[in-house]
A and B are shown apart, each in its own frame.
Chain A
Protein backbone atom coordinates (compact mmCIF):
# COMPACT_ATOMS: atom_id res chain seq x y z
CA UNK A 1 0.00 0.00 0.00
CA UNK A 2 1.08 3.61 -0.40
CA UNK A 3 1.41 6.25 2.29
CA UNK A 4 -1.10 9.08 2.37
CA UNK A 5 0.08 12.59 1.64
CA UNK A 6 2.51 14.34 3.97
CA UNK A 7 4.93 17.25 3.82
CA UNK A 8 8.64 16.77 4.26
CA UNK A 9 11.40 18.89 5.68
CA UNK A 10 15.08 18.02 6.02
CA UNK A 11 16.59 19.73 9.06
CA UNK A 12 20.29 20.43 9.57
CA UNK A 13 20.52 20.69 13.36
CA UNK A 14 19.03 19.34 16.58
CA UNK A 15 17.73 22.82 17.41
CA UNK A 16 15.89 23.08 14.09
CA UNK A 17 14.44 19.59 14.51
CA UNK A 18 13.06 20.47 17.94
CA UNK A 19 11.75 23.86 16.81
CA UNK A 20 9.98 22.52 13.71
CA UNK A 21 8.45 19.78 15.85
CA UNK A 22 7.25 22.32 18.44
CA UNK A 23 5.64 24.38 15.68
CA UNK A 24 3.79 21.40 14.23
CA UNK A 25 1.00 20.98 16.81
CA UNK A 26 1.62 17.26 17.11
CA UNK A 27 1.19 16.78 13.35
CA UNK A 28 4.83 15.88 12.68
CA UNK A 29 7.04 12.82 13.19
CA UNK A 30 10.81 12.59 13.30
CA UNK A 31 12.15 10.42 10.48
CA UNK A 32 15.34 8.55 11.40
CA UNK A 33 16.09 5.30 9.54
CA UNK A 34 12.46 5.01 8.51
CA UNK A 35 12.58 1.24 8.91
CA UNK A 36 9.60 1.25 11.25
CA UNK A 37 7.99 4.60 10.51
CA UNK A 38 7.70 4.16 6.72
CA UNK A 39 6.06 0.72 6.98
CA UNK A 40 3.56 2.28 9.41
CA UNK A 41 2.86 5.05 6.87
CA UNK A 42 2.61 2.58 3.99
CA UNK A 43 0.03 0.60 5.97
CA UNK A 44 -1.66 3.89 6.86
CA UNK A 45 -1.44 3.03 10.53
CA UNK A 46 -0.24 6.60 10.95
CA UNK A 47 -1.00 9.70 8.86
CA UNK A 48 1.23 12.53 10.04
CA UNK A 49 1.06 15.86 8.24
CA UNK A 50 4.83 16.35 8.22
CA UNK A 51 8.01 14.28 8.38
CA UNK A 52 11.07 15.93 9.90
CA UNK A 53 14.01 14.11 8.32
CA UNK A 54 16.95 13.87 10.74
CA UNK A 55 19.35 12.21 8.31
CA UNK A 56 21.32 15.38 7.52
CA UNK A 57 21.98 16.16 11.20
CA UNK A 58 25.56 14.92 11.37
CA UNK A 59 25.86 15.82 15.05
CA UNK A 60 23.40 13.00 15.79
CA UNK A 61 25.51 10.17 14.45
CA UNK A 62 28.67 8.45 15.44
CA UNK A 63 30.17 6.48 18.30
CA UNK A 64 32.85 7.85 20.61
CA UNK A 65 34.44 7.25 23.97
CA UNK A 66 34.06 9.94 26.61
CA UNK A 67 35.99 9.07 29.77
CA UNK A 68 34.45 5.91 31.19
CA UNK A 69 31.45 5.99 28.82
CA UNK A 70 30.72 5.02 25.26
CA UNK A 71 28.44 7.56 23.60
CA UNK A 72 26.24 6.46 20.70
CA UNK A 73 24.50 9.16 18.64
CA UNK A 74 20.80 8.59 18.04
CA UNK A 75 21.21 8.46 14.26
CA UNK A 76 23.99 5.85 14.34
CA UNK A 77 22.93 3.03 12.01
CA UNK A 78 22.62 -0.53 13.29
CA UNK A 79 25.28 -1.49 10.72
CA UNK A 80 27.73 0.96 12.28
CA UNK A 81 27.13 -0.41 15.78
CA UNK A 82 27.70 -3.87 14.32
CA UNK A 83 31.13 -2.95 12.94
CA UNK A 84 32.48 -0.32 15.28
CA UNK A 85 35.75 -1.21 17.05
CA UNK A 86 34.74 0.63 20.26
CA UNK A 87 31.58 -1.44 20.50
CA UNK A 88 33.46 -4.68 19.80
CA UNK A 89 36.08 -3.82 22.41
CA UNK A 90 33.89 -2.51 25.22
CA UNK A 91 30.29 -3.51 24.61
CA UNK A 92 30.40 -7.02 23.12
CA UNK A 93 26.80 -7.59 24.25
CA UNK A 94 25.69 -4.86 21.87
CA UNK A 95 27.94 -6.11 19.08
CA UNK A 96 26.38 -9.55 19.34
CA UNK A 97 22.78 -8.44 19.82
CA UNK A 98 22.70 -6.02 16.89
CA UNK A 99 23.35 -8.87 14.46
CA UNK A 100 19.89 -10.12 15.38
CA UNK A 101 18.18 -6.89 14.37
CA UNK A 102 16.41 -7.52 11.07
CA UNK A 103 18.51 -8.06 7.92
CA UNK A 104 21.54 -6.28 6.55
CA UNK A 105 19.69 -3.92 4.19
CA UNK A 106 17.51 -2.84 7.13
CA UNK A 107 20.51 -2.50 9.47
CA UNK A 108 22.12 -0.26 6.86
CA UNK A 109 19.41 2.37 7.49
CA UNK A 110 17.76 1.65 10.84
CA UNK A 111 19.19 3.61 13.76
CA UNK A 112 20.06 2.92 17.38
CA UNK A 113 18.10 5.94 18.59
CA UNK A 114 15.09 5.08 16.43
CA UNK A 115 14.99 1.62 17.94
CA UNK A 116 14.99 2.98 21.51
CA UNK A 117 12.46 5.71 20.68
CA UNK A 118 10.15 3.16 19.08
CA UNK A 119 10.43 0.80 22.09
CA UNK A 120 9.14 -2.32 20.41
CA UNK A 121 8.79 -4.79 23.30
CA UNK A 122 10.42 -7.56 21.24
CA UNK A 123 13.37 -5.46 20.03
CA UNK A 124 16.99 -6.15 20.97
CA UNK A 125 18.42 -2.66 21.47
CA UNK A 126 16.07 -1.53 24.25
CA UNK A 127 16.85 -4.70 26.23
CA UNK A 128 20.59 -4.14 25.77
CA UNK A 129 20.23 -0.50 26.85
CA UNK A 130 18.67 -1.75 30.08
CA UNK A 131 21.25 -4.51 30.61
CA UNK A 132 24.08 -2.02 30.02
CA UNK A 133 22.68 0.72 32.33
CA UNK A 134 22.44 3.18 29.46
CA UNK A 135 21.42 6.77 30.06
CA UNK A 136 19.31 8.35 27.35
CA UNK A 137 19.87 12.01 26.52
CA UNK A 138 17.04 14.01 25.02
CA UNK A 139 16.41 17.55 23.89
CA UNK A 140 13.00 19.15 23.68
CA UNK A 141 11.12 22.44 23.76
CA UNK A 142 11.90 22.69 27.49
CA UNK A 143 15.62 21.99 27.09
CA UNK A 144 17.78 18.96 27.72
CA UNK A 145 17.48 16.12 30.19
CA UNK A 146 18.77 12.61 30.62
CA UNK A 147 16.76 9.54 31.53
CA UNK A 148 18.18 6.23 32.78
CA UNK A 149 17.10 3.26 30.65
CA UNK A 150 15.46 1.84 33.81
CA UNK A 151 12.91 4.66 33.67
CA UNK A 152 12.73 5.07 29.89
CA UNK A 153 10.63 2.11 28.72
CA UNK A 154 7.14 2.59 30.06
CA UNK A 155 5.08 0.09 28.12
CA UNK A 156 4.33 -1.24 24.67
CA UNK A 157 5.80 1.34 22.27
CA UNK A 158 5.64 3.83 25.15
CA UNK A 159 8.65 5.72 26.47
CA UNK A 160 9.43 8.57 28.84
CA UNK A 161 9.96 10.88 25.85
CA UNK A 162 7.65 13.88 26.27
CA UNK A 163 5.82 15.24 23.21
CA UNK A 164 8.28 17.01 20.95
CA UNK A 165 11.39 15.57 22.59
CA UNK A 166 14.20 14.29 20.41
CA UNK A 167 16.45 11.45 21.56
CA UNK A 168 19.95 12.79 20.86
CA UNK A 169 22.46 10.30 22.25
CA UNK A 170 22.90 7.39 24.57
CA UNK A 171 25.65 7.15 27.20
CA UNK A 172 26.71 3.67 28.24
CA UNK A 173 29.15 3.19 31.13
CA UNK A 174 32.08 0.87 30.36
CA UNK A 175 31.26 -2.44 32.03
CA UNK A 176 33.50 -3.74 34.80
CA UNK A 177 36.47 -5.53 33.19
CA UNK A 178 35.45 -8.73 35.00
CA UNK A 179 31.92 -8.62 33.55
CA UNK A 180 30.82 -11.24 31.04
CA UNK A 181 27.89 -11.02 28.68
CA UNK A 182 25.35 -13.40 27.25
CA UNK A 183 22.73 -13.00 24.55
CA UNK A 184 20.11 -15.39 23.24
CA UNK A 185 16.97 -15.08 21.21
CA UNK A 186 14.37 -17.41 19.80
CA UNK A 187 12.78 -16.44 16.48
CA UNK A 188 10.81 -18.25 13.79
CA UNK A 189 13.19 -17.01 11.14
CA UNK A 190 16.61 -15.34 11.27
CA UNK A 191 16.18 -11.58 11.63
CA UNK A 192 12.64 -11.65 12.97
CA UNK A 193 11.57 -10.07 16.23
CA UNK A 194 12.06 -12.29 19.26
CA UNK A 195 9.48 -14.71 20.64
CA UNK A 196 11.68 -14.71 23.69
CA UNK A 197 15.01 -12.99 24.11
CA UNK A 198 17.60 -12.46 26.80
CA UNK A 199 20.35 -9.89 27.26
CA UNK A 200 22.53 -10.62 30.24
CA UNK A 201 25.51 -9.17 32.05
CA UNK A 202 27.19 -11.41 34.62
CA UNK A 203 29.86 -10.43 37.12
CA UNK A 204 30.07 -7.66 39.68
CA UNK A 205 27.03 -5.82 38.30
CA UNK A 206 24.76 -8.57 37.09
CA UNK A 207 21.73 -7.74 35.00
CA UNK A 208 19.23 -10.08 33.42
CA UNK A 209 16.86 -8.49 30.93
CA UNK A 210 14.15 -10.29 28.96
CA UNK A 211 12.50 -9.07 25.78
CA UNK A 212 9.58 -10.33 23.74
CA UNK A 213 7.89 -11.54 26.92
CA UNK A 214 5.88 -8.54 28.02
CA UNK A 215 4.99 -4.99 27.06
CA UNK A 216 8.58 -3.78 27.54
CA UNK A 217 12.08 -5.07 28.24
CA UNK A 218 11.95 -6.65 31.69
CA UNK A 219 14.65 -6.72 34.34
CA UNK A 220 14.57 -9.97 36.31
CA UNK A 221 15.79 -9.29 39.85
CA UNK A 222 15.09 -12.86 40.97
CA UNK A 223 17.28 -14.37 38.28
CA UNK A 224 19.98 -11.78 38.94
CA UNK A 225 20.11 -12.77 42.61
CA UNK A 226 20.35 -16.46 41.71
CA UNK A 227 22.94 -16.02 38.97
CA UNK A 228 25.90 -16.86 41.20
CA UNK A 229 24.32 -20.20 42.17
CA UNK A 230 24.55 -21.53 38.64
CA UNK A 231 22.44 -22.13 35.54
CA UNK A 232 19.80 -24.35 37.18
CA UNK A 233 19.22 -22.02 40.10
CA UNK A 234 18.96 -19.01 37.81
CA UNK A 235 16.52 -20.84 35.55
CA UNK A 236 14.39 -21.87 38.52
CA UNK A 237 14.29 -18.33 39.83
CA UNK A 238 13.71 -16.73 36.43
CA UNK A 239 10.43 -14.89 35.87
CA UNK A 240 9.09 -15.86 39.26
CA UNK A 241 6.19 -13.55 40.02
CA UNK A 242 6.68 -11.66 36.75
CA UNK A 243 3.69 -11.15 34.51
CA UNK A 244 4.51 -12.56 31.07
CA UNK A 245 2.27 -11.94 28.05
CA UNK A 246 1.28 -14.52 25.50
CA UNK A 247 1.12 -13.54 21.84
CA UNK A 248 -0.48 -14.78 18.63
CA UNK A 249 1.70 -17.88 18.53
CA UNK A 250 2.59 -18.73 22.12
CA UNK A 251 0.82 -18.69 25.45
CA UNK A 252 2.40 -17.04 28.46
CA UNK A 253 3.15 -20.50 29.92
CA UNK A 254 5.00 -21.55 26.79
CA UNK A 255 7.03 -18.35 26.83
CA UNK A 256 8.02 -18.81 30.47
CA UNK A 257 9.12 -22.36 29.71
CA UNK A 258 11.13 -21.27 26.67
CA UNK A 259 12.72 -18.46 28.64
CA UNK A 260 13.82 -20.71 31.50
CA UNK A 261 15.39 -23.19 29.10
CA UNK A 262 17.02 -20.28 27.32
CA UNK A 263 18.67 -18.80 30.40
CA UNK A 264 19.88 -22.18 31.62
CA UNK A 265 21.47 -23.03 28.27
CA UNK A 266 22.97 -19.59 27.91
CA UNK A 267 24.59 -19.74 31.35
CA UNK A 268 25.87 -23.26 30.68
CA UNK A 269 27.51 -21.97 27.50
CA UNK A 270 29.04 -19.08 29.38
CA UNK A 271 30.50 -21.07 32.28
Chain B
Protein backbone atom coordinates (compact mmCIF):
# COMPACT_ATOMS: atom_id res chain seq x y z
CA UNK B 1 0.00 0.00 0.00
CA UNK B 2 1.08 3.55 -0.68
CA UNK B 3 1.61 5.66 2.46
CA UNK B 4 2.05 9.42 2.34
CA UNK B 5 3.24 11.14 5.49
CA UNK B 6 5.78 13.61 6.82
CA UNK B 7 8.95 12.03 8.15
CA UNK B 8 11.31 14.30 10.09
CA UNK B 9 9.74 17.28 8.37
CA UNK B 10 9.99 15.96 4.81
CA UNK B 11 7.03 14.89 2.67
CA UNK B 12 7.56 11.15 2.22
CA UNK B 13 5.87 8.46 0.14
CA UNK B 14 6.60 4.79 0.74
CA UNK B 15 5.21 1.42 -0.32
CA UNK B 16 4.42 -0.72 2.71
CA UNK B 17 2.89 -4.13 3.21
CA UNK B 18 0.10 -3.88 5.80
CA UNK B 19 2.11 -5.99 8.24
CA UNK B 20 5.16 -3.72 8.13
CA UNK B 21 5.64 -1.83 11.39
CA UNK B 22 6.24 1.90 11.41
CA UNK B 23 9.61 1.24 13.06
CA UNK B 24 10.64 -0.97 10.13
CA UNK B 25 9.38 1.60 7.65
CA UNK B 26 11.38 4.50 9.09
CA UNK B 27 14.49 2.32 9.23
CA UNK B 28 13.96 1.35 5.59
CA UNK B 29 13.67 5.07 4.82
CA UNK B 30 17.17 5.55 6.26
CA UNK B 31 16.44 6.59 9.83
CA UNK B 32 18.15 3.70 11.56
CA UNK B 33 18.31 5.39 14.95
CA UNK B 34 14.97 3.73 15.65
CA UNK B 35 15.87 0.35 17.14
CA UNK B 36 14.07 -2.96 17.48
CA UNK B 37 14.41 -4.85 20.70
CA UNK B 38 11.40 -6.89 21.64
CA UNK B 39 8.79 -6.05 19.00
CA UNK B 40 6.02 -6.36 21.56
CA UNK B 41 6.03 -2.99 23.24
CA UNK B 42 8.11 -3.81 26.31
CA UNK B 43 11.62 -2.44 25.73
CA UNK B 44 10.93 1.05 24.33
CA UNK B 45 13.87 1.07 21.88
CA UNK B 46 11.54 1.73 18.92
CA UNK B 47 9.81 4.79 20.42
CA UNK B 48 8.88 7.48 17.85
CA UNK B 49 6.79 10.64 17.89
CA UNK B 50 3.60 10.53 15.84
CA UNK B 51 1.55 13.70 15.63
CA UNK B 52 3.42 15.01 18.64
CA UNK B 53 3.08 12.07 21.01
CA UNK B 54 5.45 9.21 21.81
CA UNK B 55 4.37 5.83 20.47
CA UNK B 56 5.89 2.39 20.11
CA UNK B 57 7.07 2.09 16.52
CA UNK B 58 6.79 -1.70 16.73
CA UNK B 59 3.10 -1.54 17.69
CA UNK B 60 1.92 0.80 14.97
CA UNK B 61 1.63 -0.25 11.34
CA UNK B 62 3.32 1.87 8.71
CA UNK B 63 0.00 2.07 6.83
CA UNK B 64 -1.53 3.72 9.90
CA UNK B 65 0.84 6.67 9.51
CA UNK B 66 -1.05 7.95 6.45
CA UNK B 67 -1.20 11.73 6.75
CA UNK B 68 0.72 11.74 10.05
CA UNK B 69 3.73 13.72 11.19
CA UNK B 70 6.40 11.21 12.25
CA UNK B 71 9.60 12.18 14.04
CA UNK B 72 12.51 9.83 14.76
CA UNK B 73 15.50 10.48 16.99
CA UNK B 74 17.31 11.94 13.96
CA UNK B 75 14.61 14.59 13.67
CA UNK B 76 14.23 15.19 17.39
CA UNK B 77 14.86 18.83 18.09
CA UNK B 78 16.38 18.62 21.57
CA UNK B 79 20.09 19.48 21.32
CA UNK B 80 20.28 20.24 25.05
CA UNK B 81 18.99 16.76 25.93
CA UNK B 82 21.33 15.03 23.50
CA UNK B 83 24.28 17.05 24.84
CA UNK B 84 23.35 16.20 28.44
CA UNK B 85 23.38 12.49 27.61
CA UNK B 86 26.91 12.84 26.24
CA UNK B 87 28.09 14.97 29.17
CA UNK B 88 26.73 12.57 31.80
CA UNK B 89 27.82 9.45 29.96
CA UNK B 90 24.20 8.37 29.90
CA UNK B 91 24.80 5.83 27.17
CA UNK B 92 27.20 3.01 26.66
CA UNK B 93 26.17 0.78 23.78
CA UNK B 94 23.51 3.30 22.75
CA UNK B 95 20.89 0.73 21.88
CA UNK B 96 18.21 2.12 24.19
CA UNK B 97 19.28 5.75 23.74
CA UNK B 98 16.97 6.79 20.89
CA UNK B 99 13.95 5.48 22.80
CA UNK B 100 15.14 7.11 26.02
CA UNK B 101 15.58 10.45 24.24
CA UNK B 102 12.16 10.29 22.57
CA UNK B 103 10.48 9.35 25.84
CA UNK B 104 12.33 11.96 27.89
CA UNK B 105 11.65 14.67 25.30
CA UNK B 106 7.92 14.20 25.75
CA UNK B 107 8.19 14.56 29.52
CA UNK B 108 10.39 17.64 29.19
CA UNK B 109 7.77 19.34 27.01
CA UNK B 110 5.09 18.89 29.67
CA UNK B 111 5.68 22.41 30.93
CA UNK B 112 6.73 21.65 34.51
CA UNK B 113 9.92 20.53 36.21
CA UNK B 114 9.58 16.81 37.00
CA UNK B 115 11.33 15.46 40.08
CA UNK B 116 13.50 12.33 39.97
CA UNK B 117 10.62 10.06 40.93
CA UNK B 118 8.52 11.35 38.08
CA UNK B 119 11.42 11.04 35.64
CA UNK B 120 11.96 7.42 36.69
CA UNK B 121 8.29 6.72 36.41
CA UNK B 122 8.09 8.20 32.93
CA UNK B 123 11.16 6.30 31.73
CA UNK B 124 10.07 3.02 33.34
CA UNK B 125 8.74 1.76 30.00
CA UNK B 126 12.23 1.78 28.48
CA UNK B 127 14.93 -0.80 29.16
CA UNK B 128 18.62 0.03 29.32
CA UNK B 129 20.92 -2.95 29.70
CA UNK B 130 24.06 -0.87 30.18
CA UNK B 131 24.05 2.26 32.30
CA UNK B 132 21.88 1.44 35.25
CA UNK B 133 19.67 4.46 34.56
CA UNK B 134 21.27 6.79 37.11
CA UNK B 135 23.07 8.87 34.49
CA UNK B 136 19.99 8.96 32.31
CA UNK B 137 17.88 10.35 35.15
CA UNK B 138 20.69 12.85 35.93
CA UNK B 139 20.64 14.08 32.33
CA UNK B 140 16.89 14.48 32.14
CA UNK B 141 16.77 16.22 35.52
CA UNK B 142 19.49 18.66 34.52
CA UNK B 143 17.76 19.58 31.27
CA UNK B 144 14.39 19.98 33.01
CA UNK B 145 15.91 22.42 35.47
CA UNK B 146 17.99 24.27 32.88
CA UNK B 147 14.98 24.80 30.63
CA UNK B 148 13.11 26.39 33.50
CA UNK B 149 16.05 28.51 34.57
CA UNK B 150 16.50 26.61 37.82
CA UNK B 151 19.94 25.81 39.20
CA UNK B 152 20.92 22.14 38.78
Contacts and interface: CB of A to CB of B under 8 A. Distances in A.
A105 B127 CA distance: 13
A43 interface: yes
Contact of A8 (B44, B63, B103): B63
A46 B121 CA distance: 32
Interface in B49-72: 53-56, 58-61, 63-64, 66
Contacts of B94: none
Contacts of B60: 34, 38, 109
Given A42-B40, A105-B103, A5 B17 contact: yes
28 contacts: A2-B19, A2-B39, A5-B17, A7-B18, A8-B63, A10-B63, A10-B64, A34-B61, A34-B64, A35-B41, A35-B56, A38-B21, A38-B59, A38-B60, A39-B40, A41-B19, A42-B39, A42-B58, A79-B53, A103-B126, A104-B103, A104-B107, A105-B47, A105-B54, A105-B56, A106-B59, A108-B54, A190-B124
Interface of A: 1-8, 10, 34-35, 38-39, 41-43, 51, 53, 55, 79, 102-106, 108-109, 189-191
Contact of A38 (B44, B53, B61, B122): B61
Contacts of A51: 18, 61
Contacts of A3: 19
Nearest to B102: A105
Given A1-B39, A4-B19, A34-B59, A108 B53 contact: yes
Contacts of A79: 53
B44 A105 contact: yes
A28 to B, nearest CB: 12
A52 B58 CA distance: 18
B64 A55 contact: yes
Contact of B54 (A2, A53, A104): A104
B80 interface: no
Nearest to A9: B18
A8 B65 CA distance: 13
A103 B18 contact: no
Contacts of A1: 39
A104 B125 contact: yes
A190 B121 contact: yes
7 smallest A-B Cβ distances: which pairs?
Answer: A103-B125, A8-B18, A39-B40, A105-B54, A190-B124, A3-B19, A108-B53
A8 B54 contact: no
Contacts, number: 86
Contacts of A191: 124-125
B1 interface: yes
Contacts of B47: 105
A103 B124 contact: yes
A39 B19 contact: no
A34 B59 CA distance: 6
Given A53-B64, A104-B125, 11 more contacts: A3-B19, A6-B18, A34-B59, A35-B41, A103-B126, A105-B54, A105-B103, A106-B56, A106-B125, A109-B56, A109-B60
A13 B103 CA distance: 33
B106 A38 contact: no
Nearest to A39: B40
A43 B19 contact: no
Contacts of B18: 5-8, 51
A42 B103 CA distance: 23
A10 B61 CA distance: 12
B55 A105 contact: yes
A109 B55 contact: yes
A8 B124 contact: no
A194 to B, nearest CB: 15
Most chain A beta carbons < 10 A, residue from B17, B40, B66, B107? B40
Contact of B40 (A5, A43, A103): A43
